[in-house]
Structure 1
Amino acid sequence: MKNRMQLLVLLISLSCLGQQYPGFKSLRFDENYSFLKKDTLQHDWYRTMKFIPLSSSKNTYISFGGSIRYQYFYAKNENWGDGPQDNDGYILSRYLFHADFHAGKFFRTFVQTQSSLADGRIDPSPVDQNPLEVHQVFADFNIINDANKRLILRVGRQEMTYGSQRLVALRDGPNNRQSFDGIKVIASKNNYSADFFYSHYVVAHDGIFDDDSNNDKQLWGSYLVISKVPFFKNIDVYYLGYERAHAVFNDGAGKENRHSVGTRIWGKSENWRYDGETLYQFGDFDSKDINAWTASLNLGYRLNMVKFHPEIGCKVEVISGDREVGDNGLETFNPLFPRGSYFGLASVIGLSNLIDFHPSLNFELAKNIEWGIDYDMFWRYSSNDGIYAPNVSLIYPGDTTTSKEIGGQLESEIVWQPNQYLYFRVEATWFKAGEYIKASGTGKDIFFTGITMQLNF
């Protein structure tokens, strides 16, 4: 632990030497440092790391980067008091390092390692701990690579994220990010961009370099984004196919083959931001027909002329649940591979059988400091279905009570980002257990607090 802290302090001090570069991307392979081949003035260590020419033309080069994140968390009455309890808290650390090799305009390969550690965590899951793995390793074949159009074939292990990350996400909030082994075609022209892919989910194991593709979980589909649309600004249209060999829901267990079709309208102006999405799922689960859906609306209005620029936000979601146990249908929605911290880092509820109303208020206390506070109200959509964790595992069954009230969650956080390299966050969450939680288990209220420190380079 001491060595890791010394490394973090060292890199924080060294990051101050770097000049200002374009901001870091959530998908690090989307960053492009080829502009540095025209920079003949800067020769510090950071520039050298970001652009190392391997040919006289400088069109063949390699770039290095990564991130280091430390988090301390304390939870009282975790899982509403059910299961083992930790009275001391725990430390999560994550190390991501990558190399990005470009051979001219038409070929590149990207390699990234990940080490996610959980110190003091009782019985850590693969979401918390994955000692050392090749997280990404893929090759891009740029068939067309022009300013306004491109056609890329990508093969290998890769991260994927789409839309608002309700269905396919990086899972950056939890300690261990997720990836897929697959093949993808990326096409874009002017205001249109589309991905077509087939993949197997990569399963995390508790060893070194032992993660592997999971034949039991497959994901394929297409995702189209149309930008600069009059009035709407941005429209997403997508299809996602999913197969899971061993699925478990409140209404049984068996093989799941599910298809998702949806659309999303999103954008922002000087004051407004908006994100609306609707999605329908069909297919079969064991001997049952799948008939599930969700609809969500996320709005925000920022008062730019008022001190601290407060933003008033509101999110509403309705997510279907199973209407009757033992029939020939399944209405439980499956969020597939969502971001794990969808309702904050406490992350106690997943996106199945849920009605959620979520008002929020955010302030810009200073140029690089923001404070947010929000309150989530949760109900079950169907009183005959249970509630599920973010990974779609059943937490409590549906027959403990007819009450739909899950509870309310109050969360507040302060984020300080002094520059593009450093990120700090302090947060606290209180979850008031509702009647359904109290009838289904120990039913205690949850208190959760945490501190996050992250360095990107």
Structure 2
Amino acid sequence: MPVEIATGGGLGSNVSFITDVAPVAYMDCCEPSGLCVCGEGCGCGDECGCGDTCGCGGGKGKNKKPNPCAASHKGVFYANDFSYLEKDRSSQCLGDCMKQMPMGHGTVDIGGQLRLRYHHEEGMGRQAGASGFQGTKNDFMLTRLRLYLNYKANDWLRFYVEGISAEALANDAYIPRPIDRNSGDFLNLFFDAGLTESTTFRIGRQELLYGAQRAISPLDWGNTRRTFEGVNVIYKGDDWDVDGFYTHYVPVSPFDLDEADYKQAFYGVYATYKSGKTAIYDLFYIGYDNTNSYTGAAPAINAANAGTADFSLHTFGGRIFSDKGDWLFELEGAYQTGRQSGLGLDHRAGMCTCGVGRKLGDAWSPVLWAYYDYASGNDEADGVYNRYNQLFPLAHKYLGFIDAVARSNVSAPNCLLTMKPTDKL
């Protein structure tokens, strides 16, 4: 059970306990008695036949085979990879019996996820008359159920649908966040049609995830996740992957079916070059047009809601990630231009992130990173709007667990230490 703890320097605190039902080893090779088919003894609480520690040729020690299903689930479930079942269905994990099932001339995958997350928050508002960092205490449980069906008719045609039900069980005073609740809706509902062996045309509702998720992310931290509606042309080559998409943002309606906001167009091209196993290079252009009007008069240039409506933005950027031996390096930057029509100003802004990491040893695989994050803020004197618009990111991963700031008006050195105590944690 991962535990996330964040403190806000006296302003607030957030403690989250997360339980995620993920793929686990499945006792498919065991008889009802609990004995492995191959004759080795193990209880049904052990792992049998997945190349792990018990039975069916799993082996022990450093030479044991990795469990293929451990890497089968991706950041978006429509990208899940169960191809290992095409070679060997004898080594299965929980739910693998519902993957790669024959249907006509094609195959069907059925699966899902149940996630429970408990929050105890102090000083973070979310009560009547206390929207900011004030003396409040809230206890609540976030629940999320996702179910999906993937039908691959052949190598050229595919249908994918994924639903979500997200709820917040809280004390009476807590005011749920917009990303807490969605009482039954579609995250993904699209068709894929192959244009060539390496190019696919996708149409429908679809989550988007690119690069390090600093600009485009389904926001898995949110209980509801984020999705779009539109078209996407996807090219996957030996060295280059290129997506060109034109979509509209789908805001969450907690108690009604979500509908795309056709006043929020989100489009662009995202290209990735893979240089062997040591480096990744991303190049991207992202356009975002929001023609919704401000409620009432236009806000002051430095008001909290300035730059949130009636704009057209164009973001050009790139990213480098390098892994050489024990050293890691990451650099991402973007320049943003356009027009803040609601404010009557041109828009010019930018962001940059640079990090150097070091692998510290084998035990627990610790990695220490030193980062610097910059994103421009506004200067009232120059007559141009300079606050960087972070678009649709996974800000929670990079800018603090209490989500007090966005990627704008930021100049922040920071450190990151990651560890992996076991293969499953």
Instruction: Please state which band the TM-score falls in when normalised by the shorter chain.
Output: 0.7 to 0.9
Output the CA distance in 1 between the equivalents of 2:180 and 2:417: 30
The unaligned stretches of length 5 or more in structure 1 are 1-7, 369-416, 419-457
Q: 1:79 to 1:360 in 2, by over 3 A?
A: farther
Q: 1:96 to 1:344 in 2, by over 3 A?
A: farther
Corresponding residue of 1:280: 335
Task: Note the C-alpha offset of 1:184.
Answer: 0.4
Q: What pairs up with 1:302-321 in 2 under 5 angstroms?
A: 302-304=359-361, 307-321=363-377
The one-letter code of the counterpart of 1:25 is: K
Q: Secondary structure at the match of 2:95?
A: helix
Q: What pairs up with 1:48-127 in 2 under 5 angstroms?
A: 48-55=97-104, 59-78=105-124, 82-83=131-132, 86-120=136-170, 122-127=174-179
Q: 1:341 to 1:12 in 2, by over 3 A?
A: closer
* 1:163-204 superposed Cα distances (whole Å, 9 cap, x missing partner): 111111010112111000010000122201100010000110
Q: Secondary structure at the match of 1:301?
A: strand
Corresponding residue of 1:17: 27
* 1:307-334 superposed Cα distances (whole Å, 9 cap, x missing partner): 5443221110111011116x63100000
Corresponding residue of 2:410: 354
Q: Secondary structure at the match of 1:29?
A: helix
Corresponding residue of 1:196: 244
CA contact (8 A) 1:174 1:345 kept: no
Corresponding residue of 2:348: 291
Q: What pairs up with 1:253-272 in 2 under 5 angstroms?
A: 255-272=310-327
Output the CA distance in 1 between the equivalents of 2:167 and 2:25: 24
Corresponding residue of 1:242: 288
CA contact (8 A) 1:159 1:178 kept: yes
CA contact (8 A) 2:149 2:160 kept: yes
Task: Note the C-alpha offset of 1:86.
Answer: 4.7
Corresponding residue of 2:95: 46
Output the CA distance in 1 between the equivalents of 2:144 and 2:330: 31
Q: 1:61 to 1:78 in 2, by over 3 A?
A: same
Q: 1:304 to 1:152 in 2, by over 3 A?
A: same
* 1:243-278 superposed Cα distances (whole Å, 9 cap, x missing partner): 112466626465110000011111223312221011
TM-score (normalizing by structure 2): 0.75
Q: What pairs up with 1:115-264 in 2 under 5 angstroms?
A: 115-120=165-170, 122-145=174-197, 150-208=198-256, 210-228=257-275, 233-246=279-292, 250=302, 252=306, 255-264=310-319
Output the CA distance in 2 between the equivalents of 1:118 and 1:276: 37
The one-letter code of the counterpart of 2:194 is: N
Q: What pairs up with 1:425-440 in 2 under 5 angstroms?
A: none
The RMSD of aligned alpha carbons is: 2.9
Corresponding residue of 2:76: 27
Q: Secondary structure at the match of 2:260?
A: strand
Q: 1:109 to 1:300 in 2, by over 3 A?
A: same
TM-score (normalizing by structure 1): 0.70
Q: Secondary structure at the match of 1:78?
A: coil
CA contact (8 A) 1:174 1:341 kept: no
**Aligned residues with identical type, % of pairs:** 23
Task: Note the C-alpha offset of 1:298.
Answer: 2.0
Q: 1:15 to 1:211 in 2, by over 3 A?
A: farther
Task: Note the C-alpha offset of 1:42.
Answer: 6.4
The one-letter code of the counterpart of 2:122 is: K
Corresponding residue of 1:3: none
Q: 1:85 to 1:104 in 2, by over 3 A?
A: farther
What is the number of residues matched between the two proteins? Answer: 351
Corresponding residue of 1:378: none
CA contact (8 A) 1:173 1:340 kept: no
Output the CA distance in 1 between the equivalents of 2:372 and 2:413: 5
Q: 1:79 to 1:281 in 2, by over 3 A?
A: farther
Higher relative contact order, chain-length normalized (CA < 8 Å, sep 6+): 1
Q: 1:77 to 1:221 in 2, by over 3 A?
A: same
Q: Secondary structure at the match of 2:193?
A: strand
Q: Secondary structure at the match of 1:89?
A: strand
Task: Note the C-alpha offset of 1:97.
Answer: 0.7
Corresponding residue of 1:425: none
Task: Note the C-alpha offset of 1:355.
Answer: 0.7
* 1:185-231 superposed Cα distances (whole Å, 9 cap, x missing partner): 001222011000100001100214x100012221011011111179x
* 1:370-407 superposed Cα distances (whole Å, 9 cap, x missing partner): xxxxxxxxxxxxxxxxxxxxxxxxxxxxxxxxxxxxxx
Q: 1:12 to 1:172 in 2, by over 3 A?
A: closer
CA contact (8 A) 2:180 2:223 kept: yes
Q: What pairs up with 1:383-394 in 2 under 5 angstroms?
A: none
Q: Secondary structure at the match of 2:85?
A: helix
Output the CA distance in 2 between the equivalents of 1:76 and 1:154: 44
The one-letter code of the counterpart of 1:110 is: Y
CA contact (8 A) 1:193 1:224 kept: yes
Task: Note the C-alpha offset of 1:13.
Answer: 11
Output the CA distance in 1 between the equivalents of 2:336 and 2:250: 23
Output the CA distance in 1 between the equivalents of 2:416 and 2:372: 11
Q: 1:341 to 1:26 in 2, by over 3 A?
A: same
> Which structure has greater strand proportion?
1
Output the CA distance in 1 between the equivalents of 2:349 and 2:97: 52
Q: Secondary structure at the match of 1:123?
A: coil
Q: 1:85 to 1:176 in 2, by over 3 A?
A: farther
Output the CA distance in 2 between the equivalents of 1:111 and 1:79: 36
